[in-house]
Amino acid sequence: MNRPLISPSLLSANFADLRADIEQINRSDADWLHIDIMDGVFVPNISFGFPVLKYVAELSEKPLDVHLMIVNPEKFIEEVKDLGTMMMNVHYEACVHLHRVVQQIKDAGMKAAVTLNPSTPVAMLADIIRDVDMVLLMSVNPGFGGQKFIVHTLDKVRELRELIAHTGSQALIEVDGGVNLETGKQLVEAGADVLVAGNAVFKAPDMLDMIHRLKSL
């Protein structure tokens, strides 16, 4: 079992002092920085927009893992690319022409990930799994940090691991929502490659130590 990649979610950072939190992440064992973009339509919340993220991107030394919780995410491929994004995550539920959107993301020079809401079955990925670099399984309903982990996600991770093995896909498995030391351990045992953690990291007394401990699961 490999050590998981850790992608701290900036949604739980101190928005009054993002610079301090990003500098902490830069100094940590974190692998990526997870950024949640919301539109108040696809999810019942709004987070940060591109004018703020431009400065976040300049400060971050970690590759950006950008999670778009918006309708019509294909409209913003250029803006996401201009941040220097490594991985662009779009929701399965937000893309009627998912195959086209995945190709557009890759043509723009980014890695492409497809995200599933908790109620969307892994089986829906059968015809796209070979084309994506990562699948992001939501383990809470998207929109807010600090929610309780949905335990059924562990079954979805195992099912996705099988689908990846059977199809010869190279996709990584990332999980987002309610991840802490306990749920993180269960996820790694089930086959997750990347753990997103918001509250567990940014509300920890020692952020660097928490990231190190998650990374050591």
143 binds, among ligand DX5, Zn ion, none (CB under 5 to 8 A by kind): ligand DX5
Buried b / exposed e along 96-122 (16+ C-beta atoms within 10 A): eebeebbebbeeeebbbbbbbbeebeb
Mark 54-93 with x for binding to ligand DX5 (rule: CB under 6 A) and - for no binding: -------------x--------------------------
71 vs 167, beta carbon nearer ligand DX5: 71
d(CA 113, CA 109): 13
Catalytic residue positions, numbered: 36, 176
By the 8 A CB rule, do 153 and 136 touch? no
Edge to edge, the sheet with strand 172-176 lists 5-8, 194-197, 172-176, 134-138, 111-116, 87-91, 64-69, 33-38
d(CA 112, CA 129): 11
104 vs 139, beta carbon nearer ligand DX5: 139
Binding ligand DX5 by CB under 6 A: which of 42, 153, 198, 217?
A: 198
Binding-site residue set for a divalent metal cation: 34, 36, 67, 176
Q: Which stretch binds Zn ion (CB under 5 A): 34-42, 110-118, 184-192, 208-216?
A: 34-42
- Site for ligand DX5 contains 33 (CB under 6 A): no
97 vs 148, beta carbon nearer ligand DX5: 148
Pick from 75, 77, 112, 114: nearest CA to 93: 114
Mark 175-194 with x for binding to ligand DX5 (rule: CB under 6 A) and - for no binding: -xxxx---------------
d(CA 105, CA 1): 30
Which positions touch Zn ion (CB under 5 A)?
A: 36, 67, 176
Which positions touch ligand DX5 (CB under 6 A)?
A: 9, 11-12, 34, 36, 67, 140, 142-147, 176-179, 196-200
